[in-house]
Structure 1
Amino acid sequence: MHDTELRGPLPRRMWRQLLDGITPWGSIDIRPVRWGGTCYRLVLYPPGITHAERRRVRLWRGWPMWGAGLWLLILMVLARTTDPWTALGWATAGYLAAGAAAYVWAGDIRGRVRTAEVHVLASKNDVPTLIRSRVIRSLGTTMARADEQLAAGEIRSADYEATWWRVYDRLTPGVFEAGIR
């Protein structure tokens, strides 16, 4: 996030962060899961996409969550004025229409987003799974480090984008799995 985006009223900053995400390249998420496991997930947007394109893709990818909220809101509003089955029908139609609109609006970029995810169970010593988790963590660390270097002025925008391309290419379907074996 740029320095100019960190200024201004808190609601505006929160809204921008919700729409744009924390980083322009995507996200790394490492979280505990049930039974003592850990989930590693790396999401990479295509390098060179604009803010508007990233927002549209994030809108599409977040549709199940915000769409459910929309469904509930429509249901609550209409349940007061119509019978429950009509309200349920309109809420479902609104949910599906919003999802279809987000799908179309995201365009072909939604298919170029690359995601790698692995669940490591604490009780298992599955070597390929452990290697995948380390690769995901390493690629996410590479991008986080590039963010820090760009913000500190240690690298140029061209170097940042070159790093982004290297990580994005590393996550190419087939290449990611082949590099682990």
Structure 2
Amino acid sequence: MNVSTHEPRWRRLLDGGHTWGSLAVSPTRYGVTRYRLVVFPPGMSADDRMLLRVWRSWPVWGMTLFLLLEILLVPAIGASSALATSTAVFLGTGAALAAMTGATRGDVRTLSAVRMAGVDGTALAEGFAELCALVNDLAGADCERVDGEIDAVEHELLVWRVYDRMAADTHART
């Protein structure tokens, strides 16, 4: 099997659907929906973006790896040795990723909003409206890039504007 034919799939999986970051929508109980917009620093390389995405998902896949190692190692080397090995792998991968993403991890901008059914608070509505405006700007930039209306430099400029607006909003709220 030729490994290079599968590389673009793995890169796409690790790099995500958008070069600018991600939007997570989480409906929860009792009519509460959480929205989380994550924007990476524009101009970041694909490799740095992938490392940041792997770092951000480390608690999930790291614990999965820990449990898998426990299942496989307990019968082979015993409970205490398996626990020590699994813990070392879990913490070691986390530490390695923390070291590799240290330079860029602090530059990631995040904006969260919560909507609750039946609650029309002004602060909640303003936060959600701002998040929607930023997402619309990013989605519009992606669509224009795909349609060939703008090139990569103009797309990055639009992402910079959103990135800078997120910093201004953070300072305005504190």
Q: Structure 1 residue 176 and structure 2 residue 174: aligned?
A: no
Give the deviation of 1:71 after TM superposition.
0.5
Corresponding residue number in structure 2 for 1:126: 121
Unaligned runs of 5+ in 2: none
Kindly report which structure 2 residues correspond to 1:73-92, keeping only aligned pairs within 5 A, or say none: 73-92=68-87
Give the deviation of 1:17 after TM superposition.
2.3
Kindly report which structure 2 residues correspond to 1:86-165, keeping only aligned pairs within 5 A, or say none: 86-165=81-160
Unaligned runs of 5+ in 1: 1-7
Q: Aligned-residue CA RMSD in angstroms?
A: 2.0
Corresponding residue number in structure 2 for 1:5: none
Give the deviation of 1:158 after TM superposition.
1.9
> In the aligned structure 1, how far is the partner of 2:23 from the partner of 2:173?
19
The one-letter amino acid of 2:142's match is D
TM-score (norm 1): 0.86
Q: Is 1:71–1:94's contact at 8 Å kept on the other side of the alignment?
A: yes
Give the deviation of 1:179 after TM superposition.
5.3
> In the aligned structure 1, how far is the partner of 2:10 from the partner of 2:154?
29
SS of alignment partner, residue 12 of structure 2: helix
Corresponding residue number in structure 2 for 1:36: 31
Give the deviation of 1:124 after TM superposition.
2.2
Give the deviation of 1:14 after TM superposition.
4.0
> In the aligned structure 2, how far is the partner of 1:125 from the partner of 1:177?
22
> In the aligned structure 2, how far is the partner of 1:68 from the partner of 1:18?
19
TM-score (norm 2): 0.90
Give the deviation of 1:39 after TM superposition.
0.8
How many residue pairs get aligned? The number is 171
| CA deviation string 1:69-120 (max 9, x = no partner) | 1111211121111222321222112101110001111131011011111222
Kindly report which structure 2 residues correspond to 1:38-77, keeping only aligned pairs within 5 A, or say none: 38-77=33-72
> In the aligned structure 1, how far is the partner of 2:82 from the partner of 2:98?
24
SS of alignment partner, residue 166 of structure 1: helix
SS of alignment partner, residue 76 of structure 2: coil
Counting aligned pairs with the same residue, the percent is 36
The one-letter amino acid of 2:137's match is T
